[in-house]
A and B are shown apart, each in its own frame.
Chain A
Amino acid sequence: MRFLSKLNNTKTPFWIILAFPFIAIATLLVGDPYISHILIIGGIYGFLAIGLNIITGLCGQINLGMAGFYAIGSYSSALLTTKLGLNFWFAFIIAILFAGVAGLVIGYPALKVRGGVYLVLVTTSFASIIQTILTQWVKLTNGPMGVVGIGAPSIFGIKIVSLNQWIFFVAFLLLIAMILAMRIENSRVGRSLKAVRESDTSAQSLGVNISFYKIQAFIMSAAFGGAGGSLYAHYMTTISPDIYNMNLSVLALTMIVVGGVGSIPGSVLGALIIAILPELFRFMGIWQMAVYSLLIVLFTIFLPRGLIGGGIDSFLFFKTKLLGRE
C-alpha cells in the first residue's frame, strides 16, 4: 500500500535526539511546575507517537487503536503494583509484554484486511472494546472508578516523586526509546518494513515475509504504546477508563502528522508540540479548540512531511540556493 507519496527519506541527524534532554534542562531553569507538567505529559506522549510511527510511518499500516495499547500498558502496570505489590520495573516490563501480546492479537486480523478503511475500522474497534472491558470488568479494574494510589517508581533507591525528578526520568527513558526505535528503523527489520510500506507485492517478490513483518511491526508499536501507558499511570497515580478513548488515538495520529510521518525524532517533536499547543492557545478562551484544530487541518493539507520534513527541506533549500553548495 503506497500511502504516502512524499516520504521522509532524508536521514535525520542523530544528534537531534539530544534535544529533549536540553529542553528538560531549560524547563528546570524556568522552574514553573505547570510547564514541567506539560513537558512530562508531552514526553510520555512521545512513546505513543514513536509506537504509531513504527506501524504507520515505517510499515504503512494505519492504526487508530493506540489508545488500546496505552490502556493495556497503564492498567497492567497499575494493577500489578497496587494489587500484587510488584516493583515498578517488573510491572513496567510486564506491561510492555502484555501490550505486545495485544499487538499480536490485533496484528493477526489486520493481516487479512485489504485497504486502509478496513484497517482503520478494525483498530478503532479494538480500542473501543478494550475501553468497554476496562469499564465493565469491575472486579478486576474497579470499573469507571479507576485505579487509585499507584506507587511512584524508584531508581537506585531514589523515589521519583517531584516534577523535576519526573522530567529527567521521562527524558532518560524517552532517549532510550528513541535510540531503540532509530536502531530498528535502520536495521534489517526496518528496511523490510519500509519495503512493505512501498509495495506489498514487490516486497514479497523480493523474499520479504510480509505477514511476519507486519505482525512484528504491530507488536513493536504496541510495546512502545504500552511503555508510555505504564509511565502515564505511575506519573498520574490515578487512572480511569474514560481517558483511553478514541480522542487519544486520534491525538497520536495528529502527533506524527505534525512531527513528520516516518521520522522517529519527528514523532517526539510532534508529541511535544501537541502537548504544548493547546496550552499556548489557552488565552483565546472558547476559541482555543477551534484554532488548534484548524491549525492541524492546515498541517495535513500544506505540510504533509511534518515539521521535521519541512525543516530539512528548508535547510537544503538555503544550503543549495543561498550558499550555492550541493
Chain B
Amino acid sequence: MNSLPVIVQLIVSGLAIGGVYGLVALAHSMLWSGVRVVNFAQGELLMIAASVSLMFVTGEWGGAKLPFVPAFIIGTLFASLFGFLIYILVIRPTTKTGFLFVIGGCVAVQMLLQSIAIMIWGSTGKPYPPIFPMTPIVIGGVYIVPQDVFILAFSLLAASFLWVFLTRTKIGTAMRASSQNRSVAGLMGINHLMTDALTIIIASGLAGLAGILLAPKFFVTPTMGVAINSKAFTAAVIGGFGNIPGAVIGGLLLGVIENLAGGIFTSQAKDAVSFIILILIIMFKPGGLFDAGPGRKA
C-alpha cells in the first residue's frame, strides 16, 4: 500500500484541496493584517458563492443557463457583497464592545445565513457540474484528476495576482502600508475607509472563489463552509496569522499532510490531524512556520 505512486497520488490530490484552504486562509490573513478583524462567518461566504453560482449554472435563476465564467464572477461578487455587509453591520459595531462579541455576532450570523440557505436552497446536497472532467488521467502510474489540477492552478493564479496587486499597484501599496502601521499610514494621507473596504471586498471575494472551486469536488450544502473554514484557520496559523504568502503555503502544506494522514491511517485521522497541528503550532511556533523571530518580518 505504501508504494511510491500511492504517496505521490495522495500528495497530488492533497495539493488541490490545499489550494482551496490556502485561498480561504489568505482571506483570513488579509483581514487580520489589513483591518485587524476576524470573520468567523467566512465559511458561509463559500457557501453563498457556490450556491448562487450554481443557481446561474443550472438556470434556476433567470431561466437561461449561464456559462461557467459569468456564473463564477457573479458568485464571487455575491460573496464580496455579503462579506462587506457582515463587516459593516456586525463586526464593526461589536468590535467596539469586545472581541467576545465579535465572535458571538459572527457565529449568530453564521447560523442566520445557514438557516436562510436551507430555506432558499434546501438542506440536501446538490452536485455542481465540473468544469473539467472528473475522470482521472494516468501519468506514470499516478491518477490525476483534471479538475484537481484546475483547482490548484487557479488558486495559485489568484494568489499570485493578489500578490502582484498588493506589491505593484498604488492601492495595493496603500493597503500594505495601512496593515503595517495604521496610524502612520493615515498620517501619510491614506484613506482607511477605502483600504479597509477594499481589503474586505477582496478577502470575501477570495473566500467565495474558493467555494466555487471546491463545489464540483463536493456537494453544495448549506453547511459546506464550516469544515473548510476551520481548516483554513489552521492553514493561516501554520503560515503565521496575517502573513499573506505564508497562508497559501500553509494551506498547501495542510492539504498534503491531511491527505497523507488520511491515506496512511484512517479517514478519521484526517480531521484530527488538522486540530493537532493547530495546537502544536500555537504552542511551539506561535508566529507560524516562517516566523523569523520577534521584530523581523518573514
A residues whose Cβ falls under 8 Å from a Cβ of B:
2-6, 56, 62, 64, 109, 112-114, 116-118, 120-122, 124-126, 128-129, 132, 135-136, 246, 250, 253-254, 257, 261, 286-290, 292-294, 296-297, 299-301, 304
Among residues of A, the one whose C-beta sits closest to the C-beta of B101 is A300
Chain B 73-105 interface residues, beta-carbon cutoff 8 Å to A: 90, 93-94, 96-101, 103-105
Closest Cβ of chain B: how far from A203's Cβ, in Å? 18
Q: Assess the B104–A132 pair: CB atoms within 8 A.
A: no
Closest Cβ of chain B: how far from A200's Cβ, in Å? 15
Closest Cβ of chain A: how far from B262's Cβ, in Å? 13
Q: Assess the B100–A3 pair: CB atoms within 8 A.
A: yes
Q: Assess the A132–B115 pair: CB atoms within 8 A.
A: no
Q: Assess the A117–B241 pair: CB atoms within 8 A.
A: yes
Chain A residues whose CB sits within 8 angstroms of the CB of B282 once the complex forms: 109, 112-113, 118, 121-122
Q: Assess the A129–B100 pair: CB atoms within 8 A.
A: no
Stretch at the interface among B125-133, B203-211, B271-279: B271-279
- What band does the interface of chain B fall in when counting residues whose beta carbon is under 8 Å from A? 35 or more
Given A113-B286, A297-B109; A253-B104 close (CB under 8 Å): yes
Closest Cβ of chain B: how far from A107's Cβ, in Å? 13
Among residues of A, the one whose C-beta sits closest to the C-beta of B119 is A286
CA distance A320 to B271 in the complex (A): 56
Q: Assess the B279–A300 pair: CB atoms within 8 A.
A: no
Among residues of B, the one whose C-beta sits closest to the C-beta of A288 is B115
CA distance A5 to B101 in the complex (A): 11
Q: Which of A6, A126, A253 contacts B107 (CB 8 A)?
A: A253
Q: Assess the B115–A117 pair: CB atoms within 8 A.
A: no
CA distance A112 to B280 in the complex (A): 11
B3 at the interface (CB under 8 A from A): no
Question: Can you list, as one digit per residue, whether each of B32-71 has a CB less than 8 Å from chain A (1) or not (0)?
Answer: 1000001000000000000000000000000000000000
CA distance A135 to B94 in the complex (A): 36
Report whether over half of chain B's contact residues are helix, strand or loop; otherwise say mixed.
Answer: helix
Besides A3-B100, A4-B100, A62-B100, 18 other A-B contacts (C-beta < 8 A): A6-B97, A113-B286, A114-B286, A116-B103, A121-B234, A129-B272, A129-B279, A136-B268, A253-B103, A254-B107, A257-B100, A261-B100, A287-B119, A289-B118, A292-B111, A297-B112, A300-B97, A301-B93
CA distance A62 to B90 in the complex (A): 19
Chain B residues whose CB sits within 8 angstroms of the CB of A118 once the complex forms: 237, 241, 282, 286
Chain A residues whose CB sits within 8 angstroms of the CB of B226 once the complex forms: 246
B149 at the interface (CB under 8 A from A): no
Q: Which of B93, B108, B109, B276 contacts A254 (CB 8 A)?
A: B108
Given A117-B38, A261-B100; A297-B105 close (CB under 8 Å): yes
Chain B residues whose CB sits within 8 angstroms of the CB of A117 once the complex forms: 32, 38, 241
Closest Cβ of chain A: how far from B95's Cβ, in Å? 10
Chain A residues whose CB sits within 8 angstroms of the CB of B103 once the complex forms: 62, 64, 116, 120, 253
CA distance A109 to B285 in the complex (A): 12
Closest Cβ of chain A: how far from B38's Cβ, in Å? 5
Given A117-B32, A117-B38; A128-B275 close (CB under 8 Å): yes
Q: Assess the A132–B38 pair: CB atoms within 8 A.
A: no
Chain B residues whose CB sits within 8 angstroms of the CB of A304 once the complex forms: 94, 97-98, 101
**Pairs across A and B, CB under 8 Å, 5 listed:** A113-B286, A253-B107, A286-B118, A289-B111, A304-B94
Q: Which 9 A-B pairs have the closest CB atoms?
A: A289-B115, A293-B111, A125-B275, A296-B108, A293-B112, A300-B105, A116-B99, A4-B98, A304-B97
Closest Cβ of chain A: how far from B37's Cβ, in Å? 10
Q: Assess the B233–A121 pair: CB atoms within 8 A.
A: yes
B283 at the interface (CB under 8 A from A): yes
Chain A residues whose CB sits within 8 angstroms of the CB of B90 once the complex forms: 297, 300-301
B230 at the interface (CB under 8 A from A): yes
CA distance A261 to B97 in the complex (A): 12
CA distance A112 to B98 in the complex (A): 21
B184 at the interface (CB under 8 A from A): no
Q: Assess the B111–A125 pair: CB atoms within 8 A.
A: no
